[in-house]
Chain A
Amino acid sequence: MTTMQKLLQLPVNAVNIVKTVQSQVQGQEEDKSPVLTPDGGQQTWYNALQPDELRHLRSGGSGGGFGGGGGGGGGGDQEERAVLEEGGGSFQNQPLRHDDLKEMLDSNKDSLKLEAMKRIVAMVARGKNASDLFPAVVKNVACKNIEVKKLVYVYLVRYAEEQQDLALLSISTFQRGLKDPNQLIRASALRVLSSIRVTIIVPIMMLAIKEAASDMSPYVRKTAAHAIPKLYSLDPEQKDQLIEVIEKLLADKTTLVAGSVVMAFEEVCPERIDLIHKNYRKLCNLLIDVEEWGQVVIINMLTRYARTQFLNPNINESLLEEGGEKTFYGSEEDEDEDDEDKDKKAEVATMAKRKPYVMDPDHRLLLRNTKPLLQSRNAAVVMAVAQLYFHLAPKAEVGVIAKALVRLLRSHSEVQYVVLQNVATMTIKRRGMFEPYLKSFYIRSTDPTQIKVLKLEVLTNLANETNISTILREFQTYIKSMDKDFVAATIQAIGRCATNIGEVRDTCLNGLVQLLSNRDELVVAESVVVIKKLLQMQPEKHSDIIKHMAKLIDNIQVPMARASILWLIGEYCEHVPKISPDVLRKMAKSFTNEEDIVKLQIINLAAKLYLTNSKQTKLLTQYVLNLAKYDQNYDIRDRARFIRQLIVPTEKSGALSKYAKKLFLALKPAPVLESPFKDRDHFQLGSLSHLLNAKAGGYQELPDWPEAAPDPSVRNVEVPEWTKCSSREKRKEKKVEKPFYSDSEGESGPTESADSESDSANGSESVSGSEVSGSGSESEESEEGSESEEEEEEEDEEKDKKKKKKELKKKPVQESESEQSSEEEEEERKHERKSKPRKSDSETESGDEEESESESSQSESDESESEAEVKKKKKAAQSKPPAKPVKTDGKKEKKEMSLLDLDDFEPAPSPQVTPVNSFLSSSLVTDLEGLSLSDSVLSPATIAPSSALKSYELLHRITGEGLSVEYCFSRQPFSPDANMVAVQIQFTNNATSDTKNLHMEDVKLQSGMRVKEFPEIELLPAGETTTAVMGIDFCDSTQAANFQLCTHTRKFFVSIQPPVGELMRPIFLTENEFKKEQGQLMGMNEITERLTLDVKCRNEHTIVQRVTTAANLSRVPCGSDKECSPPVPPPPPDHPVHRFAGRTVTSSSLVLVTVATKEEGAAQLTVNCEKMVIGTMLVKDILQALTQ
């Protein structure tokens, strides 16, 4: 294609070129017909291609020639010459050609202008000077042809700085362009205007930017954001005004603007972190929809932000870990260091007690919303998220980035280079993270050298007792490489492994000694240097190696290696008393021919031998010192003089000579072989500064964590006025801008549940100070994932078929639904605003509350008991702050209660108690809830048997020979494993004798199900009753769990079968969220039944109660019913709609239940659930509950 194209393009360009020649020769007559008819044109071209003219063309037109393809390959050198000669201005053809271009630009044919502009741009691209065309080009700035216009812009931006006065001529055009109805023209006018670096127009630019910042079109606003740093670099005086614009644009809701404005923020005012507060949550939520480049900038900025606003999530662990690591390595650890560790630990423990760490929900939000971006195709985004996690995440969660980073190693070698640098730094701090990927760092002989060296670095950092043998075997193959630099690096790496891991020191040393007989001198030299360092650690064991090395001195020529051997012999001369004088003799002989470093070491060797064995070496030493005295190098002369004064006793010698022995033969500390990447992590990872290990211009230091968290309420957002606006148009626009793919309801996603689980793990960790690791909860999480997959796969097939059918039918319904919900959203916001001040109160309170809570489990149990009472009495809870609100609350009560609810941390499920509509509070609740539930597990006894719960018989008194067992579903989260349903078992011993060793055995389960057994009950005295809690993962099915209940004498076969309603846990959803989720679960996933309500069951209270008894769901607060604003006509108050939400325990599928009441007890029950089986069964159960 390309050659064809060239052929076809040639004529025209050629014609123009030829024309320039011809017009010069023949006068001006031709300029009216610039574009010849194709055949005619070609004719002229080929005819005109005479050798002399071609020469003419070349010398003059080389710059523009290749613009159309004419220049081609040959012009390279000539081009360069042309550039040089231009400076002198003596070029004959230059003005001619430029004149000609000017002429073309002046013509009124667009095609001619275009051609001229193309050639000029080609000159610019080559870096040739085209500045004298400026007046002619600028005239065309108002050209109608958009391509000409664009090329003129390109030219203008390039040369305006040099020709400021002329550039001003174009300004009015841009000012006109700024008012153009076409947004592209507005934007590009602003782009060019701001790119012209002419200081006079700063006020105009400022004005234009301000105007564009409130443009209708987000694209123009984006351009305005881009223009801000341009203006700032032109005139830093404008900073304050620009910050105002930035502040305004930061509040922009579109994804298009977000990235650009944060970039402007970073360039203009990175220190104004306070501007971010109000936009923080919005940025987090928008992030996934922002274009990739914007994501990188935003993530990097948020990392810094988070470092200033949140507490260190590893505040307790980091200290512990340090201590732990040390003891782990600890082959040669000093006692006092241990003590220090203990001190530290003690300190930590006290700290932990003093200040339990709770992650700020905003901190969690950031981590959660960046995590999916690890899957980005853009390496820069992945790296940005990785560094964010590395710097901000709790230790247990950092691991997720390893996989993504390893993936990047498959990318271009430049990407590999940068990623490996960062991995090398990470492996020092968090080695365990990359250990599973050890083999991904194995080196191929085809890797570029710098990659090889970096991989080696990583492998060395990853080495530990368990994998060292594999790594060393791998190193062995590297040593044979042809790339000698790489071999040298490998030997260094072996040395480092040997110093770090005591067990393999001898092996490494032996291996290195074998390398001494290598034929490559570089290898030998490097080995000598490394062996020297290793021997220094335990010289007495290795005198034979020293001997061996002494022999090598005859053959090795590399100065560094010779110097190392000499130093070694001198240092340990007492281990090789016979050889050392001989070596000195040899060296004395060759002294004059040695390199300087070797000479210095010879002098050192001589001095040491003189001190230890003066009888044999006195003369030799004198000789060497004499030679050194006349050396060319002053260092050596100085050293010789200095040593002579020290060691040779003369009457003049000072007091120091007495200490000569101590000076020279002092025990030298063994060198520590450290990674060059140690301590690099004080630079933000992924940054240029980190890569260079030096601060680059404009680098923003990553601040240390604050001691105490700044006020989190600064991030609360006031709802801006415009949301109140109810005009149709506005609303529409807003809908367009709504993120398309983002899970704007981040809290309801399946990831969310997992996150909050790990939260809880962390919470418990910090509170109890024990090592309940978050990684445990992670593995559970993954298990959960795989299980749910299995199920889904089965269902997929039929779902797909049916979905298709329903899809079309359901469309319109869905749409209307969403419209409605968006309207309601606005109202929701209003509410939110109203409740705002109260909410922030409750937040601050919650902190204190929870501390006291964790301390006293006693009061907790009291509370839960009282709760049970409350349930029985079915009292509204708002009057009793300590009591847990009951599911049967009326709507109004809920609304008011919300503030107190946050303080409520009882082990019982609490999500449904917080009808605060904002994101923040709900996630805060989940976090805190997690905290509390882990407490409850530590003391299962605190769970009060709730009479409201239905009990089922597991073992009858008669079959059980006096032992009767009942179980009920306590509806508490089962904290050892959040995927399990907690089953509370009550044992009653009705027999006359004691029952001992109550435990369970021989569990028979359907595949996928799991059971966590209750702890063995050692003794159940006659007549006593006790309870225990076990967890069963039913895998979201109603299959029974069969097992044997054993006492010290008997075994009973029993089985537990859950009603479907117990397979879920309540979640908190706002009404809007509920509707949104419901909208996504239409079709096959929706089951609707009509029913007539039981006579006793017509009031709201009873309905709610019956539904929540039948299924472990939480009521969705529907406050809007009461306070609805006009647009949505509220349903008549006597026919309310009740909504309930939950998630299945194992797979976290949403379960949404709606009961819409109608006249005379008629009602409609709707269940939306991804799992159709569950949905169907649930409908049946609820139906029964409501109609009985």
Chain B
Amino acid sequence: MIHSLFLINHTGDIFLEKHWKSVISRGVCDYFLEVKEKAVEPENVPPVLQTPHHYLISIYRDKLFFLSVIQTEVPPLFVIEFLHRVADTFQDYFGECSESIIKDNVVTVYELLEEMLDNGFPLATESNILKEMIKPPTILRSVVNTLTGSSNVGDKLPTGQLSNIPWRRAAVKYTNNEAYFDVIEEIDAILDKSGMTVFAEIQGVIEACTRLSGMPDLTLSFMNPRLLDDVSFHPCVRFKRWESERVLSFIPPDGNFTLMTYHVSSQNLVAIPVYVKQNISFFETGSCGRLDITIGPKQTMGKMVEGLMVTVHMPKAVLSVNLTASQGNYTYDLATKVLVWDIGKLNPQKPPNLRGTLSVQSGAPRPEENPALDIKLKIQQLAISGLKVNRLDMYGEKYKPFKGVKYMTKAGKFQVRT
């Protein structure tokens, strides 16, 4: 399946290679680098490329390309999903997934890659198993190891590998037993010029952090599970229980994990928390334009809208901007032509406003399209779909865990067309 993996930074240097079968020359990456050169944005590099003897499947994450070399037929998603899992594992182990951190931990990275694939076929991808085999680097451990010469590598087969619940380590012990659930919802929306909703839906995710001793069996139920239109689960969730009773019943992995993602049907009207009034226009003569954006609260359910930020990708012809913001700061990056207006908290009494003039390259034709506005926002303590966790019960263990649920609403791909 996966023959080799190359890690390439965004300037095109290959800084790590790993082969699971016979060695493939790194020259194979030249095909990829050629395409990458041509593409304006790194995102525009097609994920699957064909070369005379190999197929290259790559992902772009955190300014790094993970490029895998394939020789025979394999489902492309299989490879893509695996590469993302590799990146996730690095993130999990080292806190971030960047070139320098990978270089610093190259041995651990190599050991991980060795465990994750055997002959190109995934062997162990569960973080709980990997962590038993290869301990993540911590300050304390690296000091101890250098002094005593003990190793980071376990010599026992992780119990998870054999059990039916590979995601959980055996014999977990905590003094404080706690389980936290974050219900995070993102609003994906497209608003048209007049502020009408063209398309809106809610994508939710429940991130969990469980630190529970032993083998707890949790049951999480919702007040209104019928809101959920489509769901996907961590493998630990018993699908049958969900089908029949609409409760989440699971033996959780240890630590952080994504319990489920869900989709709230677009048939339900999605409450759009803010309204946007905008007017961006370019004049036919005089090589200038005008911009005027106002944002105000719409359906916020009485909660404060925070972290409000507007990003505008200006047409190439816009040279500079001269704006005044009634609240927050704005920056305009001349190279990328990106205007960012960081507003912060939304004041319902005095809707923030940004207005002023844009100067356009003289002689250039008037830009055809008005740029779309990308909006970021955050609302704490609110799940915009109205989803509510009813209760969390634990079976199988005697202690009483500390439980907590947090709600948050964010703007996902929230775009206003102008």
Contacts and interface: CB of A to CB of B under 8 A. Distances in A.
Contacts of A27: none
19 contacts: A1-B138, A1-B139, A2-B104, A4-B139, A66-B103, A73-B100, A184-B157, A197-B22, A226-B121, A296-B78, A375-B233, A377-B234, A415-B77, A415-B81, A418-B76, A446-B313, A482-B316, A796-B221, A796-B245
* Contact-residue bracket for chain A: 35 or more
Contacts of B369: 480-482
Contacts of B43: 413, 448
B263 A407 contact: yes
Contact of B104 (A69, A380, A518, A520): A69
Given A182-B155, A187-B157, A296 B313 contact: no
B335 interface: no
Contact of B266 (A124, A187, A439): A439
A266 to B, nearest CB: 9
Q: Main SS of the interface on chain A?
A: helix
B361 interface: no
Given A121-B107, A448-B44, A481-B369, A5 B157 contact: no
A1108 interface: no
Nearest to B13: A76
Interface of A: 1-2, 4-6, 8-9, 11-12, 35, 38, 66-67, 69, 71-73, 76, 109-111, 114, 118, 121-122, 124-127, 145-148, 150-151, 153-154, 158, 161, 182-185, 187, 191, 194-195, 197, 217-219, 223, 226-227, 229-230, 233, 255-256, 260, 263, 288-289, 291-293, 296, 300, 372, 375-380, 382-384, 403-404, 406-407, 410, 412-415, 417-419, 439-440, 442, 444-446, 448-450, 474, 477, 480-482, 518-520, 686-689, 691-692, 694, 696-700, 739-741, 743, 749-751, 786, 789, 792, 796, 800, 804, 807
Contacts of A419: 77
Interface string B73-89: 11111101110100000
A788 to B, nearest CB: 8
B171 interface: no
Contact of A127 (B14, B225, B370): B14
Nearest to A474: B198
B157 A219 contact: yes
A12 B145 CA distance: 11
B324 interface: no
B162 A256 contact: yes
Nearest to A122: B106
B395 interface: yes
Given A154-B114, A380-B75, A293 B82 contact: yes
B80 A127 contact: no
B46 A450 contact: yes
Given A150-B114, A442-B190, A450-B46, 9 more contacts: A151-B111, A233-B21, A375-B233, A410-B203, A418-B76, A692-B48, A743-B240, A789-B246, A792-B246
Interface of B: 1, 13-19, 21-23, 26, 41, 43-44, 46-48, 50, 55, 58-61, 70-78, 80-82, 84, 94-96, 100-101, 103-104, 106-107, 109-111, 114, 118-119, 121-123, 125, 137-139, 142-143, 146-147, 149, 151-157, 161-166, 188, 190, 192, 198-199, 201, 203, 221, 225-226, 229-235, 238-240, 243-247, 258, 261, 263, 266, 313, 315-316, 365, 367-372, 374, 390-391, 393, 395, 413, 415, 417
Contacts of A300: 75
A662 to B, nearest CB: 45
A375 B154 CA distance: 34
A975 B252 CA distance: 42
Nearest to A448: B43
Contact of B121 (A263, A372, A740, A741): A263
Contacts of B76: 418, 686-688, 691
A144 B100 CA distance: 32
A1162 to B, nearest CB: 35
Nearest to A481: B369
Given A147-B152, A439-B266, A450-B46, A66 B190 contact: no
Contacts of A449: 44
Contacts, number: 315
A377 B22 contact: no
B81 A403 contact: no
A480 B156 CA distance: 61
A289 B78 CA distance: 18
B415 A445 contact: yes
Contacts of A477: 192, 417
B195 to A, nearest CB: 15
Given A688-B70, A696-B55, A789 B110 contact: no
Contacts of B96: 2
A689 B50 CA distance: 11
Contacts of A184: 155-157
A789 B242 CA distance: 11
A792 B245 contact: yes
A9 B142 contact: yes
Contacts of B22: 161, 197
A5 B47 contact: no
A195 B119 contact: yes
A71 B21 CA distance: 28
B272 to A, nearest CB: 15
B232 A380 contact: no
A229 B119 contact: yes
A519 B243 CA distance: 56
Interface centre among B22, B122, B147, B163 (most CB of A within 10 A): B122
A4 B261 CA distance: 36
A789 B225 contact: yes
B230 A403 contact: yes
B110 A121 contact: yes
Given A151-B107, A699-B73, A789 B226 contact: yes
A378 B233 CA distance: 9
A222 to B, nearest CB: 8
B240 A35 contact: no
B232 to A, nearest CB: 5
The list of the 6 closest CB pairs from A to B, nearest first, reads A147-B151, A740-B164, A698-B72, A111-B149, A184-B157, A414-B47
Contacts of A292: 125, 235
B146 A126 contact: no
B203 to A, nearest CB: 6
A693 to B, nearest CB: 10
B164 to A, nearest CB: 3
Contacts of B73: 687-689, 696-700
Contacts of A412: 59, 61, 80, 84
B161 A740 contact: no
Contacts of A786: 226
B340 to A, nearest CB: 14
A1123 B387 CA distance: 54
Contacts of B155: 146, 182, 184-185
B40 to A, nearest CB: 9
A480 B366 CA distance: 13
A688 B69 CA distance: 13
A132 B381 CA distance: 62
